[in-house]
Structure 1
Amino acid sequence: MVKNFDDLLAKVKSGQIKKVAVAVAQDEPVLEAVKAAQEQGIAEAILVGDESAIKKVADKIGMDLTKFEILHEPNDIKAALKAVELVSKGQANMVMKGLVDTANFLRAVLNKEVGLRTGRLMSHVAVFEIKGFDRLIFLTDAAFNMYPDLKAKIDILNNAVEVAHAVGIDTPKVAPVCAVEVVNPDMPATIDASILSKMNDRGQIKGCIVDGPLALDNAISEEAAKHKKVGGPVAGKADILLLPNIDAANVMYKTLTYTSESRNGGILVGTSAPVILTSRADSFETKTYSIALAALVAQK
């Protein structure tokens, strides 16, 4: 059972090593993470971008480029497209954003000819190891889908479940988080939560246990759930927190990042291969854990 990032890294290393294609690789924090991933046996890499700029950064951080394949492409848009193409052709298992605008990177990911489209909704899954918790917490969607309707929430939920399965959680417990734990017709998120739970009961959503609506305290704290007399298989034991919109999810993501003693990584899924889309504000450690998480999903 994977309960923290040490367990997650051990699981990655026990499988077949995967390869990440880095789009516009001349980015110092990204190359530091790629270097660490290679040194720790997490993943190998193909660096796509301006070769001279890549070498300049590598010299600065003491990175031995003889251990990496470099594809020279000075044009950022073409480099992003080439990195994605490497994945779609099976020459790499995942793609990572480097020093390129997010919009241009995602255009490459969604390119009709060489992109990673599947017909499913793409969504972001963040995984947190938080001091005091005996399990990893999966948070979705803090970065990509803004105000998902019920249909989108089904895809977002299924995407998160797939990541949890890849990490090693066979039947993750999913809490559709709302402000309250009762269905209120004036609060649409509670209605969506109740429908998701009923769909799970009837086998329309598989591979997990869904129960909601649940307020956050009742989702993650058994003590709070007991005090409020909130029962069920998920109350106080949630693995996956499905937040109602990007406002709630992003605030929670950043609150955990900046105010708790925690470690995290995150990826985009719903594509034919994992997409590592980290923020420039994310730490080197977060970028490395994101590569490890993507490698596990690629192995699955």
Structure 2
Amino acid sequence: MIFESRMYDELQPGMSAELRRLCTADDIYAFVAATGNHNPMHVERADDAGHKTVPYAPGLFVASMISSLLGSILPGPGTRYKDQSLSFQNYVKAGEELIAKVTVASKEAEGVVVLNTEVRRVGDEALICEGKARVHAPEKYIRYEEIDAPGLIVQRHRHFEKLLEAAEDLPELKTAVVCPEEQTALEGAMIAAERGLIRPILIGKPEKIEAAAKALGKSLADYEVLEMMTHRDAARQAVALVHEGRAQAIMKGHLHTDDLLRPMLDKQTGLRVGRRFTHVFVMDVPGVSHPLLVTDAAINIAPDLATKVDICQNAIDLAISLGMETPKVGVLSAVETVNPSMPSSIDAALLSKMAERGQIKGGVVDGPLAMDNAVDIGAARTKGLRGPVAGQADVLVVPGIDAGNMLAKQLAYISHAEAAGVVLGARVPVILNSRSDSAMARLASAAVASIHWNRLTGGN
């Protein structure tokens, strides 16, 4: 985009310019941090009934659109403020789109220009604020392309830290840890135990578990260790502990996921409860104002429609546990319209209709949605999508494991997100940690499992 000055002699009454902007929660948080305005109206919080409130934009955040318009477009680069009057008529919430307008009203001596200013909400055209600006017009012509200013990343871990705070107030989750026979596998269980999130029972080869503990500089004195010499037997023992009531969750250690899950899937002695096992990544993505759930990126390779129903329902149940009152589920495809040649778009449309008919409960499901218009309100509105999910999805349902794995890893390694991983659909939550997971990701996985278990059972 090219920016250029309008000199005093060029400006005539009636000339005008406009600027549109989507007001996001992170815009508000950045403004609050920069100005020190910590009015609780400007942050997401729970009201007296426990419902989350949408943050309101500070008045001067809205007015800053006028300043941007004056300094960038009309009169443009080189403009200097002299004074500005403002009268506020309405308030702005995160998620609303605004349009600012300035109109040259008159010219005064010594290069001063008077402009009428206003900001309106897009959609209902409600007047947010109005006033007059007096500015010194640019004294010399300036022309430049858009400045490549450094971007901002809103605080990492803010969502995970809230989950940890919530989980630390809950009873310790009795957790069967299967084959923690390597440093990172054991460390995940130990740091969760040290934070009071879980009470681990370590299952595997005692000498290997002891060696891993020594490498970490930790003692096993306070931990129960059950000897099982094979991965298969260790996984079976974890299932048995659940049946005995001694374990409320299972955590993966140093073994293949298939070996961990196989005993749980046994039709006679496993942990089936009627739904398919599905995996959910709970992701803390910098710049996203809420935890983002991605499913299924780890278990179901090419899910059919029936499996996707369970994928949606399990994710909705988890999202509700994490405090999302009515989760918004975006079912992803490469397009936002149904294409008979693209099976994922057909499945997405069917899932959306099934949710409307009550076959999927507790959330709002919409699809097909492409990735951009599932998570970005601006992109959704450009495509003419204005439903409650478009641009605001809490949960992303991917077409298959390839897309899900790529999406989750892109968010982790390019967008600097952290991911907590759990398997749902079993009698108890299953915590899946990866060798590459950070300490925060391991803690968050345990916290998610604890919060979900306690919501479902009341801690029993």
Structure 1 and Structure 2 fold alike (TM over 0.5): yes
Residue 74 of structure 1 pairs with residue 232 of structure 2: no
After superposition, the C-alpha distances for 1:118-170 in whole angstroms (9 at most, x for unaligned) are 23111110011111111010000101111111111101100111111121212
Residue 227 of structure 1 pairs with residue 382 of structure 2: yes
2:290 aligned partner:
135
- Determine the C-alpha separation between the residues in 2 that align with 1:151 and 1:282: 31
1:202 aligned partner:
357
- Determine the C-alpha separation between the residues in 2 that align with 1:32 and 1:120: 31
Residue 121 of structure 1 pairs with residue 246 of structure 2: no
Is the contact between residue 192 and residue 442 of structure 2 (CA under 8 Å) also seen in structure 1?
Answer: no
User: Which amino acid counterpart does residue 209 of structure 2 have in structure 1?
Assistant: I
Instruction: Give secondary structure in 2 for the equivalent of 1:212.
Output: strand
2:155 aligned partner:
none
After superposition, the C-alpha distances for 1:168-226 in whole angstroms (9 at most, x for unaligned) are 21210000011111111121211111111111112221100011111111110011112
- Determine the C-alpha separation between the residues in 2 that align with 1:184 and 1:53: 53
Is the contact between residue 30 and residue 284 of structure 1 (CA under 8 Å) also seen in structure 2?
Answer: no
1:278 aligned partner:
433
Q: Find the partner of 2:173 among 7, 10, 18.
A: 18
How far apart are 1:280 and its partner, in Å? 2.8
Is the contact between residue 30 and residue 287 of structure 1 (CA under 8 Å) also seen in structure 2?
Answer: no
Q: Find the partner of 1:187 among 314, 322, 342.
A: 342
How far apart are 1:285 and its partner, in Å? 3.2
How far apart are 1:113 and its partner, in Å? 4.5
Please identify the structure whose Cα radius of gyration is greater: 2
User: Which amino acid counterpart does residue 228 of structure 1 have in structure 2?
Assistant: K
Instruction: Give secondary structure in 2 for the equivalent of 1:65.
Output: coil
How far apart are 1:64 and its partner, in Å? 2.8
1:1-300 aligned within 5 A: 4-300=159-455
After superposition, the C-alpha distances for 1:95-124 in whole angstroms (9 at most, x for unaligned) are 112122333222222234542112311111
Is the contact between residue 204 and residue 230 of structure 2 (CA under 8 Å) also seen in structure 1?
Answer: yes
- Determine the C-alpha separation between the residues in 2 that align with 1:235 and 1:163: 20
Q: Which has the higher helix share?
A: 1
Higher mean C-alpha deviation, range 122-131 or range 83-92: 83-92
The structure whose RCO (Cα within 8 Å, separation 6+) is larger is: 1
Higher mean C-alpha deviation, range 111-120 or range 133-142: 111-120
- Determine the C-alpha separation between the residues in 1 that align with 2:269 and 2:220: 27
The alignment's C-alpha RMSD in Å is 1.6
Instruction: Give secondary structure in 2 for the equivalent of 1:41.
Output: coil
User: Which amino acid counterpart does residue 164 of structure 2 have in structure 1?
Assistant: L
- Percent identity of paired positions between Structure 1 and Structure 2: 42
Is the contact between residue 164 and residue 443 of structure 2 (CA under 8 Å) also seen in structure 1?
Answer: no
TM-score, normalised via structure 1 length: 0.95
- Determine the C-alpha separation between the residues in 2 that align with 1:247 and 1:26: 29
Is the contact between residue 33 and residue 285 of structure 1 (CA under 8 Å) also seen in structure 2?
Answer: no
Higher mean C-alpha deviation, range 95-104 or range 14-23: 95-104
Q: Which has the higher strand share?
A: 2
How far apart are 1:246 and its partner, in Å? 1.1
Ranges in structure 1 where 5+ consecutive residues have no aligned partner? none
- Determine the C-alpha separation between the residues in 2 that align with 1:195 and 1:101: 34
